[in-house]
Amino acid sequence: MMLFVINQHAGNGKGLRTWQLIESRMQQLEIEYSSCVTATPEEAEMHVSAHLTKYPRSTIVVLGGDGTIHRLLPILAGTQAVLGVIPAGSGNDTARGFHIPTEPLQALHTILHGRRNAVDLIQINDKWTLTALATGFDAEVAEAVNQSRYKRWCNQLRIGSAAYLIGAIITMFTFKPARAAITINGTIHHYDNVWLTAIANSSSYGGGIRICPHADPHDGELDICIVHSCTRWTLMRLFPTVFSGKHVNLPYVSMLHGHDVHITSSIDRVAYGDGERTGTTPLQAAVGRHKLLMLQPSSSHHYESKIV
């Protein structure tokens, strides 16, 4: 049986508003389902765990943001349960990176008629991440946004992605770059004046920043973006290009690929996965090949594989 998990706080109430629309359509279609409206991540985890004990091969549909999905990954990874997503958060990078419609009824259509694909995950210090891992400047932006008042204001105005733009501008003037050693598949790369290192499973994070535009969550590889050896003002000029992905051709941007990544920094850096705090450097990240079953539109590129 399908379970809808509604985060009542997602998108400053967007989750509940979206659920009213979805619930009405499900009743019209006369499809059997269960639902739970949750106020905390722990409550969502409890409901999903209990549901999967009874229905281990069911579909878990999240009406929420990337953080809600992130908290359920330890329960879903490596199982026969299938994740469905109806975006209702502020950033919605999961929907963006996995070609899921942002319009609720179209997203529901994907859940009811889409393809069940096995997608990769990022394993970081024994934790799972679906979209991308951020360390350095980008993680400090996430930290600033999550602790801010303007995130709520932006959600109320239904411009959630703008919160990340505001956070980036503020962090630009306070962040200090540092030396970093990044080991990929056993090969060590040394960089000076590192602003950020992003490890991506899908193309975007931070509310639409296309940090690794060619990242593919089905290919068993992680895409790594390192921004280094540039001034604060150069970084400011770089920033507009990350929304289109054109930054990958700049001389102070290094793009790498691999299945195993280790990061150390001369300054301890906070790490964020799916917009949620996951730890600090040093950190170890590895691809979890086809660890999650997920519903995606039939028209998007896909790889039907068994769960590993």
Q: How many helices (H) and strands (E) does the chain have?
A: 9, 15
Asked, as a colleague might, if the bond just before 177 is cis with ω within 30 of 0, I would say no
Tokens of 44: 């969502």
Which helix (H) or strand (E) segment holds residue 16: the answer is: helix 14-29
Rounded Cα distance, 282 and 49, in Å? 31
Q: Which CATH architecture has domain 129-289?
A: Sandwich (2.60)
Tell me the sheet residues that pair with 133. 199, 273
Query: Is the distance from CB of 236 to CB of 172 less than 8 angstroms?
Result: yes
Q: Which CATH superfamily is domain 2-113 in?
A: Probable inorganic polyphosphate/atp-NAD kinase; domain 1 (3.40.50.10330)
Instruction: Parse the chain into domains and list their residue ranges.
Output: 2-113, 129-289
pTM for this one? 0.89
> Position 45: which residue type?
E
Distance CA 13, CA 7 (A): 8
Distance from C-alpha of 23 to C-alpha of 236, rounded to nearest angstrom = 44
What type of residue is 190? H
Residue 244 is classified by DSSP as T
- Tens-level pLDDT at each residue, the chain (308 residues): 999 999 998 877 888 999 999 999 999 999 999 999 999 999 999 999 999 999 999 999 999 999 999 999 999 999 999 999 999 987 789 999 999 999 999 999 999 999 999 999 999 977 999 999 999 998 998 888 877 877 777 766 666 667 777 888 889 889 999 999 999 999 999 999 999 999 999 998 877 889 999 999 999 999 999 999 999 999 888 888 998 999 999 999 999 999 999 999 999 999 999 989 999 999 999 999 999 999 999 875 444 444 44
